[in-house]
Amino acid sequence: MNRTATAPTLAPQLLAALNDPQRLQIVGALAGGANRADLAALVGEKALAGHLKRLASCGLVTDPDGEPALDLTAFATAQQGVQTLRIAARGPAPLERPDINALFEDGLVRTLPVKPAARDALLEWIAERFFTRGSWTEGEVNAVLGTVVIDHATVRRFLIDQGRLRRSADGSAYARP
């Protein structure tokens, strides 16, 4: 599986990989026991190489350069990732403050409060959505923030600047302090 394909971001990658008629044919043929020669006859060797690499990037195919095989465990990993996002999206109960509750429209914060106290309270509430587990990729952080706010980049920056979220020096990982 591609190292960038983590559980919470895998479902969209799987769907994107399968959103191509030829790749879908390849997956169907592999499920039916097809070998590389069968697949090449189906879509052509040149196209096959690119499609197999794409399917391998999200863990659906093993050995894309040799004899490819279907690996359906990617679906289980994606399902776990979706469940993680659902848990994160539920997060703590909404604040019992009218000024914060008023920021939510259709379940999302559309604008950040101008008043620092209200903004800090909102940011702390959002920060609680990050579990105490090791680290998160930027895609995972964006996915969780996207369940709460419209502008995830600005909120991510506020969380980092205020020390509610740490980012690794190379920017590849995020964690609660």
Give the pLDDT band of residue 2 (cuts 50, 70, 90).
Answer: very low
DSSP-derived 3-state class of residue 79 = helix
Question: Distance from CA of residue 101 to its chain's centroid?
Answer: 27
Q: What is the pLDDT of residue 3?
A: 38
- Asked if pLDDT for residue 114 goes beyond 80, the answer is yes
Measured distance CA(90)–CA(84) in Å, rounded: 10
- Asked if pLDDT for residue 82 goes beyond 70, the answer is no
Give the pLDDT band of residue 77 (cuts 50, 70, 90).
Answer: confident
Residue with the larger pLDDT of the pair 99 and 87: 99
In degrees, to the nearest 5, what angle opens at C-alpha 172 toward C-alphas 107 and 108? Answer: 5
Q: Tell me what percent of the residues of the chain surpass a pLDDT of 70.
A: 81
> In the chain, where are the structural domains located?
7-74, 92-175
Q: Which residues contact 109 (CB under 8 A, 6 or more apart)?
A: 103, 122, 148, 149, 150
> Tens of pLDDT along 115-167?
898 889 888 888 876 655 667 888 888 877 887 888 889 999 999 999 999 99
Measured distance CA(96)–CA(90) in Å, rounded: 16
Measured distance CA(169)–CA(153) in Å, rounded: 18
Dihedral over alpha carbons 144, 80, 163, 128 (to 10 degrees):
70
Measured distance CA(81)–CA(72) in Å, rounded: 15
According to DSSP, residue 102 is labeled: T
- Asked if pLDDT for residue 112 goes beyond 50, the answer is yes
Average pLDDT over all residues of the chain: 81
- Asked if pLDDT for residue 51 goes beyond 50, the answer is yes
Residue with the larger pLDDT of the pair 155 and 104: 155
Entry pTM: 0.51
Q: Specify the fold of 7-74.
A: Arc Repressor Mutant, subunit A (1.10.10)
